[in-house]
């Protein structure tokens, strides 16, 4: 376990040097994917290629599921699977040059083994797994306080807050405030560090795979908004939170699903 953790950390730090250099050089190539709000840059693609090469050199038999470069579909989760989001929060990366993360998860026989979320600009790496616990850089961390919705901030996906999910707004009104960072990794770091009571979004497997390992290790909860386990295959409506907040949120969100 120590060897693979050491390897993955070294890839993350090396990749993030390149990402920082790209910001400094101010020479990004930005393209759109499905629509004008769905961006990809040369750095997303290069970072994924870089990680792919490292993974294959380290373990030639491992499978990779990643957002870019046509690696976004995997049906067989047997053996070792790496799930990669080279830059999570590409819009923020392009427009803010902050509030984006690099995320890697390792699943063994479809079970969570390791998760890494790196906030590149803040230099905060959350990492760990069920057999080793969760760490913020070099310091081991415990689960955050089990607060209810009314006791903290809720992270939300802006699209869902603005559409017909009436109960998402209701949950937002119950909370002490709503935050929309535009980056799943930033929200999941905040949840794990006790700065949010929950996060409601619409996510693909690479958006929640790494965070999911860490949440599960700490006894935090996540699922789709029907309360079912996330399937690692499709984009799904996503809810995560402290056990208490999660309970309150899913009770309301299941009503939303019926009306939407």
Which residues in this chain contact Ca ion in the complex, by CB under 5 A?
Answer: 67, 85, 87-88, 207
254: which residues sit within 8 A by CB, 6+ positions away? 225, 226, 227
Pairing of strands 221-224, 198-203: unpaired
149-168: contacts with ligand IPD (CB under 6 A):
157
Q: Which does 119 bind (CB under 5 to 8 A by kind): ligand IPD, Ca ion, none?
A: none
Burial class (CB in 10 A: 0-12, 13-18, 19+), 179: middle
Cα separation values, 198 from 12, 57, 171, 231, 250, Å: 26, 37, 10, 20, 11
Whole-angstrom distance between the N-terminal and C-terminal Cα of the chain? 44
Rounded to 10 deg, the angle between the 2-25 and 42-58 helix axes is: 160
Query: Minimal CA–CA distance to 190: which of 91, 101, 250, 106?
Result: 101
Q: Which does 157 bind (CB under 5 to 8 A by kind): ligand IPD, Ca ion, none?
A: ligand IPD
Segment near ligand IPD (CB under 6 A), from 48-56, 84-92, 120-128, 192-200?
84-92
Q: Which does 203 bind (CB under 5 to 8 A by kind): ligand IPD, Ca ion, none?
A: ligand IPD
The only residue of 19, 64, 104, 184 in contact with ligand IPD, by rule CB under 6 A: 184
Q: Which does 126 bind (CB under 5 to 8 A by kind): Ca ion, ligand IPD, none?
A: none
Q: Per the annotation, does 59 bind a ligand? A: no
At its nearest, how many Å lie between ligand IPD and the CB of residue 146?
A: 25
The only residue of 43, 55, 106, 203 in contact with ligand IPD, by rule CB under 6 A: 203
35 vs 138 by CB, closer to Ca ion: 35
Q: Which does 183 bind (CB under 5 to 8 A by kind): ligand IPD, Ca ion, none?
A: ligand IPD
207 vs 256 by CB, closer to ligand IPD: 207
Rounded Cα gap, residues 148 and 94, in angstroms: 35
Q: Given the rule CB under 6 A, which residues bind ligand IPD?
A: 67, 85, 88-90, 157, 182-184, 201-204, 207
């Amino acid at each position: 376990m120590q060897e693979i953790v050491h390897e993955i950390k070294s890839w993350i730090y090396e990749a993030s040097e390149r990402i920082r250099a790209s910001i400094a050089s101010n020479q990004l190539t930005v393209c759109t994917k499905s629509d004008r709000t769905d961006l990809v840059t040369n750095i997303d693609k290069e970072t994924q290629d870089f990680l792919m090469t490292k993974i294959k050199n380290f373990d030639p038999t491992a499978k990779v599921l990643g957002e870019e470069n046509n690696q976004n579909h995997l049906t067989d989760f047997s053996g070792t699977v790496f799930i990669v989001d080279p830059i999570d929060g590409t819009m923020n990366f392009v427009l803010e040059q902050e509030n984006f993360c690099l995320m890697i998860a390792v699943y063994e026989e479809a079970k969570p083994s390791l998760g890494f979320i790196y906030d590149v600009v803040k230099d905060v790496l959350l990492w760990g797994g069920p057999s080793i616990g969760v760490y913020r850089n070099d310091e081991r961390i415990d689960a955050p306080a089990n607060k209810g919705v009314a006791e903290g901030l809720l992270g939300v996906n802006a699209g869902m807050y603005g559409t017909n999910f009436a109960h998402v707004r209701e949950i937002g009104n119950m909370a002490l405030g709503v935050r929309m960072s535009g980056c799943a990794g930033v929200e999941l770091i905040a949840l794990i560090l006790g700065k949010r009571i929950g996060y409601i979004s619409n996510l693909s497997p690479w958006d929640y795979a790494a965070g999911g390992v860490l949440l599960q290790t700490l006894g935090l909860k996540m699922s789709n908004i029907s309360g079912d386990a996330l399937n690692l295959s499709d984009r799904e409506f996503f809810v995560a939170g402290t056990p208490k907040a999660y309970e309150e949120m899913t009770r309301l969100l299941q009503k939303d699903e019926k009306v939407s």
